[in-house]
A and B are shown apart, each in its own frame.
Chain A
């Protein structure tokens, strides 16, 4: 859960969409919903590398790994177990 909160906090702090009504659900596709701009992917990757002290390879960079809070958590779990 703690991992989930850290990722969520980072995405929320960088949301391009600022309407008060918007709430970020764990399964929301942040790119398709326009919550963040497409350049955010790079920031998110840098954040993950820094925050969780891992190095991502080109194979990891599939946007599907980073398009929702849920998928980032899943990706990190897989990465740790691999």
Chain B
């Protein structure tokens, strides 16, 4: 089957899977605060956790454009399932694919793809977020091993992860390690009371004299920030950009349905021009967001050197409009928008997270501004 046709078929099946297995359970998953292991296994069985990996590592070989559309499809149905894809495929998977040696890829990617092991990406710390280069988690070499000490915070799937890609420092040299969960040396505490990401098993993770075999160093020593974090965040931003499209699209569909059914003053509320204004903006913003994501996807597919910038722009824009459209969707629902009978309340909460993870909106603005200051500077003007 030709490549695009094969990928289209995967998307079609993903849509059916999302409609049958994810969407009907999304509210309950969020309420219970846990993405069930059974569902993780179901997604793994369909190779969804390794959607971009090559076939020999258990993947579906989706190209960036199709992976983006796939992320939208899953994200529209269930935010927690989408978060699982972001972490397994884009953060952990792509880092190991790019920087892992053959034996690391076999050891960690294959079980991840099969859903036998869950991975997590541990960068953020209680005192270090945006200034990620300044991680305080320490490593040192002792004989043939490395010893890691320190704390990580807000780690998605940290509470259930079997292994972690951990970014830590030795006197300012930042390196990445693959750390397996061990009862004595790796302690995880779930974080509750979250605005969004409630079912993503977010945890605080503490490493106490964790002994890591030298072969678990990921990439060369000192490449933790420049390469591993750089690669993970670039892929993570692409995934979050599409997650924004997913939320905006879901919110748009919800507001259209509600506006066509709800009556006030003796007529359907979509007849009011002020509601039409909201709907018009929501359609426009969602289409614009998807167009940016598709452009980023095409550039990534052709390995264009501007792909990183377009991905950052797409992440910044789509996370912003996801918030706007989700907020407007709540508005269109009135009081019903504030309760969990309708999905918009959840979408509204989930959207906010997108402006914070994989680099906050302010950090994206700084990067985009620097890019613009150079690209659009004309000596003649």
Given A18-B374, A41-B227, A61 contacting B219 (CB threshold 8 A): yes
Given A16-B370, A18-B370, A42-B230, A61 contacting B377 (CB threshold 8 A): no
Tell yes or no: B220 within 8 A of A by CB: yes
**Cα distance A22–B55 when bound, in Å?**
47
> What sequence of 0s and 1s flags, for each residue 361-381 of chain B, a beta carbon within 8 Å of any chain A beta carbon?
000000000100111010000
**Cα distance A50–B300 when bound, in Å?**
12
Tell yes or no: A4 within 8 A of B by CB: no
- Starting from the known contacts A41-B226, A42-B308, 14 additional A-B residue pairs (CB-CB under 8 Å) come to A13-B375, A14-B374, A18-B373, A37-B370, A38-B133, A41-B230, A42-B226, A42-B230, A43-B230, A46-B305, A47-B305, A58-B99, A63-B223, A63-B226
Q: Which residues of B contact A37 (CB under 8 A)?
A: 370
Q: Which residues of A contact B227 (CB under 8 A)?
A: 41-42, 45, 61
> A43–B226 contact, CB under 8 A?
no
> What sequence of 0s and 1s flags, for each residue 111-152 of chain B, a beta carbon within 8 Å of any chain A beta carbon?
000000000000000000000010000000000000000000
Task: Find the B residue at minimum CB distance from A46.
Answer: B303
Q: Which residues of A contact B101 (CB under 8 A)?
A: 58
Q: Which residues of A contact B229 (CB under 8 A)?
A: 39
Chain B's interface size range is: 20 to 34
- Would you give 13 A-B contacts (Cβ < 8 Å), ordered by A? A16-B370, A38-B225, A39-B230, A39-B233, A42-B227, A42-B234, A42-B308, A45-B227, A46-B308, A58-B223, A61-B223, A63-B223, A63-B226
Q: Which residues of A contact B219 (CB under 8 A)?
A: 58, 61
| Number of A-B residue pairs with CB-CB distance less than 8 Å in the complex they form | 54
**Cα distance A47–B375 when bound, in Å?**
17
Question: Which B residues fall within an 8 A CB radius of A?
Answer: 99, 101, 133, 219-220, 222-223, 225-227, 229-231, 233-234, 303, 305, 308, 370, 373-375, 377
Q: Which residues of B contact A24 (CB under 8 A)?
A: none
Task: Find the B residue at minimum CB distance from A10.
Answer: B305
Q: Which residues of A contact B374 (CB under 8 A)?
A: 13-15, 18
Q: Which of A16, A43, A50, A58 has the most CB of B within 10 A?
A: A58
- Of B222, B223, B225, B305, the contact of A43 (CB 8 Å cutoff): B305
**Cα distance A13–B372 when bound, in Å?**
11
Q: Which residues of B contact A15 (CB under 8 A)?
A: 374
Tell yes or no: A62 within 8 A of B by CB: yes
Q: Which residues of A contact B375 (CB under 8 A)?
A: 13
Shortest beta-carbon distance from A67 to chain B in Å: 11
Within 8 A of B (CB), among A45-62: 45-47, 49-50, 58-59, 61-62
Question: Which 7 residue pairs across A and B have the least CB separation, nearest first?
Answer: A42-B230, A41-B226, A39-B230, A50-B303, A47-B305, A18-B373, A38-B226
Q: Which residues of A contact B133 (CB under 8 A)?
A: 38
Q: What is the predominant secondary structure among interface residues of chain B facing chain A? A: helix
> B377–A18 contact, CB under 8 A?
yes
Q: Which residues of B contact A61 (CB under 8 A)?
A: 99, 219-220, 223, 227
Q: What is the predominant secondary structure among interface residues of chain A facing chain B? A: helix
> B220–A62 contact, CB under 8 A?
yes
Q: Which residues of A contact B303 (CB under 8 A)?
A: 46, 49-50
> A43–B370 contact, CB under 8 A?
no
**Cα distance A79–B274 when bound, in Å?**
64
Shortest beta-carbon distance from A28 to chain B in Å: 17
Task: Find the B residue at minimum CB distance from A59.
Answer: B220
Q: Which residues of B contact A62 (CB under 8 A)?
A: 220
Shortest beta-carbon distance from B100 to chain A in Å: 9
> B308–A43 contact, CB under 8 A?
yes
> A58–B220 contact, CB under 8 A?
yes
Shortest beta-carbon distance from B322 to chain A in Å: 24
Q: Which residues of A contact B234 (CB under 8 A)?
A: 42
Task: Find the A residue at minimum CB distance from B307.
Answer: A46
> What sequence of 0s and 1s flags, for each residue 9-49 of chain A, a beta carbon within 8 Å of any chain B beta carbon?
01001111010000000000000000001110111011101
**Cα distance A42–B312 when bound, in Å?**
14
